[in-house]
Amino acid sequence: MYNIVLIPGDGIGTEITESVTAILDAVGIDINWIKCKAGESAQNELGNPLPEETLEAIKEHRIVLKGPLTTPVGAGFRSINVALRQKFELFSNIRPAKSLPNIDSPFREVDIVLFRENTQGLYFGKEHWVDENEEHAESIAVVTRDASERIITAAFEYAKKHNRKKVSLIHKANILKLTTGLFLKIGKEIAPKYPEIEFEDLIVDNMAMQMVLNPQQFDVIVTTNLFGDILSDLASGLVGGLGVTGAANIGDNAAMFEAVHGSAPDIAGQNKANPTALLFSALMMLEYLEEFRMAERIRSAVYTVLQDHKEECTQDIGGKGTTKSYTDAICKFLRD
C-alpha cells in the first residue's frame, strides 16, 4: 500500500480529485490517501493557506497528488505551488505535451517533454521596493551552478532512459549574459557526457516561434524557471491546452504531481470539469512509483474513450458528457 498526500485544492479541485481517485481505484492500485488542505480554501477555513498539518504530512509521506490552487493576483498570500516547490526542493518540473487522439488541434505528432528548473530564476521571490512610495520595484533572478547542473542532468538522464534523441536548452544568454549565460555554459559542459543524445541551444524568443512553426522538431527541452513556465504552457496549447497535460515536481526526497490549470471557480460544482490533466499527473506519479503497467492500462483506457466514446467526454474537449460520464467510461474499460 502507498501512503500518498492528497490536496484537492480549490474550485473544481474536489471534483477532479474524486474522479482521479475513482479511476486509480478501478485499476486496482492500493493507495491510502491522506487528505490535506492548502490554498484559498485553507486560508478561508483555517486562516492559513499552507497549514502546518499539511507540511508535516508531506514531510512524512513524501508523495503528493495536488489539485489546482487559487493564487491571489497582485496581493494576498504568495503562490502555494511555488512555496511547496521551494520548501521541499522539488527542483525538477516535468511537463509532457503529447498529441492525443480526437483532440482538436492544428498540430499532430507532437511529443515534447519540458524540464523546468523549479526553485530559482525570477520565481525565487527576491523582490523589494526601491523607494518609500512603492513606485519603483526590483526583482532579482538567481541562477546557481548546483541548481543548473541538477536540472540539466535530469533532462539528459530522462532522455537516455526513455530513448529520446535530442535535448534543447533554452536561454537568453545574448542579453542575460550572467544568469542564463551560466545556465548555457553548464549545459555545454554536461552535453558531451551524453554523446548518443543530440544537443542544441536556442534563444527563448526564437524558441517560442519555432515551437509554433514546427513543434515536431523538439524532443526534450530544458530551461530556467520563468522561461519554462511560459514555454510549457505554450507546449500544452499545441496539444489541446492545460486541461490535457500533466505535471510532476520532483526532488531528491519528495515528489508532487499536480494539475497546472486554474481552479475554475466559475464551473465548480457543476459536473463540467475535465479531470484529464490531473489524471495524467497521477500517471506520472504511478511511473515514479514504478507502477508502469497500471499507468499504461489507464492511459490506454483514456485513449480508447477519447477515440471511440467522445460523447462521454467533457464539453471542453469536444464531448457532450460530464465529469461523471467521462470518469465512468474510463472506469468501465478498466474493470472490463
Single-letter residue type at 38? A
**For 111, phi and psi rounded to 5 degrees?**
-150, 80
- Which residue among the candidates 146, 205, 252, 308 is catalytic per the annotation? 205
Residue range 182-204, pLDDT digits in tens: 999 999 999 999 999 999 999 99
- Which residue among the candidates 37, 201, 229, 326 is catalytic per the annotation? 229
* Segments in the chain below pLDDT 50: 74-76
Angle at CA 22, nearest 5°, toward 274 and 50? 75
Query: For residue 126, what pLDDT is reported?
Result: 82
Residue range 291-311, pLDDT digits in tens: 999 999 999 999 999 999 989
Residues near 209 by beta carbon (within 8 Å), at least 6 away in sequence: none
Q: Give catalytic status of residue 229 as yes or no.
A: yes
Q: How far is Cα of residue 259 from the mean position of the Cα atoms in its chain?
A: 6
Query: For residue 78, what pLDDT is reported?
Result: 65
Q: Give catalytic status of residue 158 as yes or no.
A: no
CB distance 295 to 283 below 8 Å: yes
Q: Give catalytic status of residue 146 as yes or no.
A: no
Report which of 4, 27, 1 is spatially closest to residue 258, judged by C-alpha positions: 4
Cell 491522506 appears where?
34
CATH numbers and ranges of domains, the chain: 1-96+240-336 (3.40.718.10), 106-115+144-238 (3.40.50.2300)
Q: Give catalytic status of residue 219 as yes or no.
A: no
- Which residue among the candidates 10, 37, 123, 201 is catalytic per the annotation? 123
Q: Torsion angle of alpha carbons 291, 160, 114, 23, nearest 10°?
A: -10
Query: For residue 132, what pLDDT is reported?
Result: 84
- Which residue among the candidates 10, 172, 310, 326 is catalytic per the annotation? 172
Angle at CA 184, nearest 5°, toward 180 and 188? 170
Query: For residue 74, what pLDDT is reported?
Result: 47
